[in-house]
Amino acid sequence: MSTYSYKDQALALAGVFQAANLVEKVAKTGQAPEDALITSLSSILNTSPNSVADVYEGASGVMLGLRVLRSVLQKEASSMQTDTIRYALTLLHLERKLSKNPAMLTEIASRLDKIKDQVNHFAVTHENIIAAFASLYQDTISTFRTRIQVTGEMRHLQQQVNADKIRACLLAGIRAAMLWHQTGGSRWQLLLSRSKLLGGVESCIHV
Q: What is the CATH number of the domain that holds 96?
A: 1.10.3890.10
Distance CA 206, CA 202 (A): 6
Is 59 within a domain?
yes
pLDDT < 70 positions in the chain: 1-2, 77-80, 207
Per-residue pLDDT of 76-85, as tens digits, reads: 755 568 999 9
Q: Domain of 19?
A: 6-205
Is 195 within a domain?
yes
Sign of CA dihedral 39, 42, 46, 47: positive
> Number of structural domains, the chain?
1
Is 154 within a domain?
yes
Is 1 within a domain?
no
pLDDT at 1: 44
Which residue, among 182, 200, 203, 194, has the nearest Cα to 72 in the 3D structure?
Answer: 194
Count, residues in the chain? 207
Is 106 within a domain?
yes
Is 53 within a domain?
yes
Is 17 within a domain?
yes
